[in-house]
Amino acid sequence: MGGSGSGRWHRWRTKDTVDGLKSLDINWLQRHGHLTPGRSSGVSWTRNGEPSGNILLRAEADQVILEYRYRRNEGEWQEVTEPVSLTWTRCNYGGARPWFLCPRVGCGRRVGKLYAGGRYFLCSHCYDLTYESRREDRKGRLLLKAQNIRRRLGGSMSMADPFPDKPRGMHWSRYRRLMLKARQAELQMWREVEQWLQASKSCVK
């Protein structure tokens, strides 16, 4: 579903990441007209350019109905119909933003994404998900932070390349803040690397 996340159906053992699961992004659905009441449409995912799953989504005024097939551990395919309630909040500059209400009984959190971590699409809290970046050590998290800022500015994620120029239309104040955050993250990362190397040397002695 272009940009809403792709991955595979996971079997739950240890804490997994949101990055590897199929997800439904309500902002993506809204932009592409899938939340228009009365509309029925298909939503699909790909992995490595190949189809990896699809569902039928029927939109109503205050909810969406998800229809899809699910199976566990190569078992029998089961037909699933899952209603998901919607809510809306007003934006500061007009209009309203849609949200899912997690359909798990006892949850009901207002979220922007639901994840296919099992039979149903639920929020990240219900599936006890984490982000890939949180699995990295501090050096990795700092590097990822700097790289993500470079990517947001339209540049390369390689730290060997020059820092990207200010994108057209971006205010200079915001560009400088992002540059400062990236520089600070990079500096802290190299400090962590230096400390790690020193600790490694002391262990060898």
The pLDDT tens digits of the residues spanning 147-203 come to: 889 888 888 777 778 888 998 888 999 999 999 999 998 888 888 777 767 765 544
- pLDDT band for position 4 (cuts 50, 70, 90): very low
What is the number of domains present in the chain? Answer: 2
Question: Is 13 within a domain?
Answer: no
- Asked whether the beta carbons of 64 and 74 are under 8 A apart, the reply is no
- Among 95, 122, 149, the domain-final residue is 122
- pLDDT tens string 114-127: 988 888 999 888 87
Do 103 and 147 fall within a single domain?
no
Q: In sequence order, which residues have a C-beta less than 8 Å from that of residue 165 and are 6 or more positions away?
A: 153, 155
How many Cα atoms within 13 Å fall on the side-chain side of residue 180?
A: 6
Do 148 and 118 fall within a single domain?
no
Q: What count of other Cβ atoms lies within 10 Å of the Cβ of residue 124?
A: 21
Question: Is 92 within a domain?
Answer: yes
Do 141 and 63 fall within a single domain?
no
- Among 122, 151, 174, the domain-final residue is 122
Determine the structural domain holding residue 157 and report its residue range: 136-198
Question: Is 181 within a domain?
Answer: yes
Question: Is 65 within a domain?
Answer: yes
- Give CA–CA dist 170/110, Å, rounded: 31
- Give CA–CA dist 108/106, Å, rounded: 6
Do 70 and 147 fall within a single domain?
no
Q: What count of other Cβ atoms lies within 10 Å of the Cβ of residue 137?
A: 10
In this structure, the strands spanning 113-116 and 121-122 are: antiparallel
Do 98 and 180 fall within a single domain?
no
